[in-house]
Structure 1
Amino acid sequence: MRARLLAEAFDAVIINGKLPGGWTVQAIDGWIAEKCPGLEKRLLFTFSGGAEPEVNDFLQQRNLPYLVKPFEVADLIAQARRLLQKTHAAAAS
């Protein structure tokens, strides 16, 4: 995943908040902010269950959107549209 993020351009990223290998939400956000500046503002995290309290606090402090499974497809589409609107707004300015 990291190599692909470095090699390609993405308008937004929808990513599981519990990746294998111990990659935390905080680590993902920090790595993307460092290696792909600006993309950290266009992340959507998904979780298969409720996030741990410290992860929840981090998401709220950074105002990062997230969805907890099971979620409605309409909610996923709405969140993805919000991320893409940020992309288009940034490109227009």
Structure 2
Amino acid sequence: MAGGSHTNFESTAFSVGAVAGAATIAGALGAGLADLRAQRAAANAGWREHQLRAALELSELLRRREHRVNRAQRITIARFERERAIARANRHLSRS
């Protein structure tokens, strides 16, 4: 007995079990990734090149539109903050 008589622990058996468990988990993860790749390939298999290009163009247009909206919102917020600061300063000056 490698581990001692009071524990009856077999370190070799434990190591073999740990390696087998790790290999099982790694195999399951690998199989899951392979399945995901196969599903994505199957989902895109029916697309023609012009359809993929149109989808990409639409995605880019939506991204640019979102960028413009975000920029407009930031400008509006900055304007409101500036107006609020001016109003606060005017109130402070009128009290003095």
Task: Report the TM range for the smaller structure's normalisation.
Answer: under 0.3
Given the two structures, how large is their TM-score scaled by the length of structure 1? 0.24
**Structure holding more strand per residue:** 1
